């Protein structure tokens, strides 16, 4: 076995982190793109169309909302369970839409499938916002659902409906739905102007509702939304995020004024780290279903790139502080990387922002200075590609973390529908606890949830491929949604 002195070992590890393992590997990004979108068909709730391609999935939850006289059929299950959490669903929709708006021209024929995936969500959100004064924010009791391991087609758990109103506000969920509708309006505008206009009109209405009746859904619905999708960063970021998307969709100065007048408030928010410790002023480095701050700075910089060319602008400053917090060689890096080079925090969402901001740097012809480290546009693209390639197989285990992609991928993902026999294979109902034997089985899932990207490896690049290890083996819509845009870009820029 070869041995290296300590300083050389550290250098080699750093180079692995910077360049990624398996540099010579060549991936079929077009295939991965198609599969990353196909995953959303496996997450569909409601009456499935004749065009459904994942045929092992069937109709489910066909009476959602009916007990209160509202049609709330449709939408997506967020992960491996059967609850419709509208907060992460709306963020996933916003990121799918941003993927099309930013990178749709690189998608080829898959752009139509991406638009179908967006529309499955936006049709549902139109239902959720159809009654003035109310926004439906969740369907399904998570405690009842998580007590069972059953197919969505057999669901007999509580389908409780939760709504926001002026008396019980949910500004973060309402504003994220507004962002989803506004961004989707942009995605559909070139192909379906009537639908785009309908989405935009509703987005403006819901934003006004979210802003007029301010409050967190933690306070009104905390027992049912926490700890599942509790809001830890406040609702101000979602309001600004929605206003930014409304500005992009309408070009009305009032929305940009809203962004600029309120964005400084985000610095006051306390952000909890992985140890649960609150840190003020770190919000610029956060982006995911809960915290939109880094996304706001990148999105606004992207819109105003022709007039913003200096890091003295606070929006640009914070966008570039974010980049420096992610760049492995930066002296201010705050993101954790595994020895094999995987960013362990919201990998696809962070990488999407790097790629989007690289386009800002290209247009203004400028680099970023992280202390004495210079980050070019090409460096940001390379880092984003490293993360995508890690997911597809450039990692110490030489496995793909996308189900159905490559020769080696997760076989026992934490997902009810995938792990239980399909209705075609087992027509009798599988009751609440009858699925437990399948959950505990060591055999691979009988149904491939093609395109699903799991939570991924542990901090040492290990992966146990266990349903019980849901932190690492559960797929989610908000992992896949940003990946769609990344794969679209690398499909055309391999």
CB 478 within 8 A of CB 349: yes
Query: Is residue 432 a contact partner of residue 148, using CB atoms and an 8 Å limit?
Result: yes
Name 255's Cβ contacts closer than 8 Å, sequence gap at least 6.
243, 244, 246, 247
In 3D, which of 172, 162, 296, 147 has the Cα closest to residue 230?
Answer: 172
CA distance 143 to 224: 8
Alpha helices in 276-313 (DSSP H): 293-303
Catalytic residue among 41, 176, 211, 414: 414
**156 assigned to active site:** no
Q: What span, in angstroms and rounded, lies between the C-alpha atoms of 386 and 392?
A: 10
DSSP 8-state symbol, 191: T
User: What whole-number distance in Å separates Cα of residue 384 and Cα of residue 37?
Assistant: 19
Contact 445, 413 (CB under 8 A): yes
| Secondary structure percentages of the chain, helix, strand, coil, to 5 | 50, 5, 45
- Secondary structure tally for the chain: helices H, strands E: 18, 7
Q: Looking at the DSSP assignment, which residues form a beta bridge with residue 44?
A: 76
Q: Which residue in 78, 81, 154, 318 is the catalytic one?
A: 81
Other beta carbons within 10 angstroms of residue 280's beta carbon come to 10
Cα-based torsion angle of the residue sequence 232, 416, 399, 385 in order, rounded to the nearest 10 degrees: -40
Any catalytic annotation for residue 493? no
Of residues 464, 446, 444, 447, the one with CA closest to residue 455: 464
318 as an active site residue: the answer is no
> Distance between CA atoms of 98 and 184, rounded to whole angstroms?
8
- 112: part of which helix (H) or strand (E)? helix 110-128
Is 81 designated active site?
yes
Query: Alpha carbon of 402 to those of 44, 233, 473: distances in Å?
Result: 18, 30, 11
Given a contact cutoff of 8 angstroms between Cβ atoms, the answer to whether 323 and 335 are in contact is no
Report the candidate in 146, 144, 128 with the shortest Cα–Cα distance to residue 136.
128
Burial of 409 (0-12, 13-18, 19+ CB in 10 A): buried
Q: Which residues does the annotation mark as catalytic? A: 81, 414, 465, 474
């Amino acid at each position: 076995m070869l041995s290296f002195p300590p300083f050389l070992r550290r250098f080699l590890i750093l180079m692995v982190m910077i360049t990624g393992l398996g540099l010579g590997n060549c991936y079929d990004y077009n295939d991965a793109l198609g599969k990353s979108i196909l995953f959303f068909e496996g997450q569909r709730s409601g009456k499935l169309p004749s065009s459904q391609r994942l045929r092992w999935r069937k109709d489910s939850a066909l009476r959602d909302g009916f007990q209160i006289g509202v049609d709330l059929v449709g939408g997506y299950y967020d992960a491996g369970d059967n609850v419709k959490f509208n907060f992460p669903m709306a963020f996933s929709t916003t990121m799918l839409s941003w993927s099309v708006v930013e990178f749709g021209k690189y998608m080829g024929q898959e752009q139509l499938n991406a638009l179908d995936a967006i529309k499955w969500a936006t049709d549902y959100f139109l239902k959720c916002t159809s009654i003035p004064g109310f926004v439906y924010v969740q369907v399904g009791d998570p405690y009842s659902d998580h007590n069972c391991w059953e197919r969505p087609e057999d669901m007999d758990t509580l389908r409780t409906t939760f709504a926001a109103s002026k008396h019980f506000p949910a500004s973060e969920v309402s504003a994220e739905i507004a962002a989803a509708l506004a961004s989707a309006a942009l995605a559909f505008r070139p192909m379906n102007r009537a639908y785009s206009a309908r989405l935009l009109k509703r987005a403006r209405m819901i934003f006004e509702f979210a802003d007029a009746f301010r409050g967190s859904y933690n306070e009104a619905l905390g027992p049912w939304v926490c700890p599942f999708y509790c809001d830890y960063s406040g609702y101000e970021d979602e309001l600004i995020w929605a206003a930014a998307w409304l500005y992009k969709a309408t070009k009305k100065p009032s929305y940009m004024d809203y962004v600029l007048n309120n964005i400084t408030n985000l610095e006051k928010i306390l952000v909890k780290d992985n140890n649960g410790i609150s840190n003020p002023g770190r919000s610029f480095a956060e982006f995911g279903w809960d915290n939109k701050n880094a996304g706001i700075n990148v999105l606004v910089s992207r819109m105003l790139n022709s007039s913003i060319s200096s890091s003295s602008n606070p929006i640009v400053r914070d966008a570039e502080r974010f980049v420096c917090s992610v760049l492995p060689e930066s002296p201010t890096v705050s993101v954790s990387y595994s020895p094999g080079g995987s960013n362990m925090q919201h990998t696809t969402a962070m990488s999407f922002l790097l790629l989007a901001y690289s386009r800002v740097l290209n247009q203004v012809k400028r680099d970023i200075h992280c202390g004495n480290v210079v980050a070019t546009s090409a460096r940001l693209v390379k880092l984003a590609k490293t993360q995508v390639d890690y997911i597809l197989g450039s990692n110490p285990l030489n496995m793909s973390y996308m189900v159905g992609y490559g020769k080696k991928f997760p076989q026992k993902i934490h997902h009810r529908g995938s792990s239980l026999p399909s209705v075609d294979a087992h027509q009798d109902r599988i009751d609440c606890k009858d699925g437990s034997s399948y959950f505990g089985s060591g055999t691979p899932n009988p149904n491939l949830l093609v395109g699903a990207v799991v939570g991924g490896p542990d901090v040492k690049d290990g992966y146990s491929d266990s349903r019980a290890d849901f932190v690492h083996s559960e797929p989610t819509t908000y992992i896949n949604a940003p990946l769609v845009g990344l794969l679209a870009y690398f499909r055309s820029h391999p």
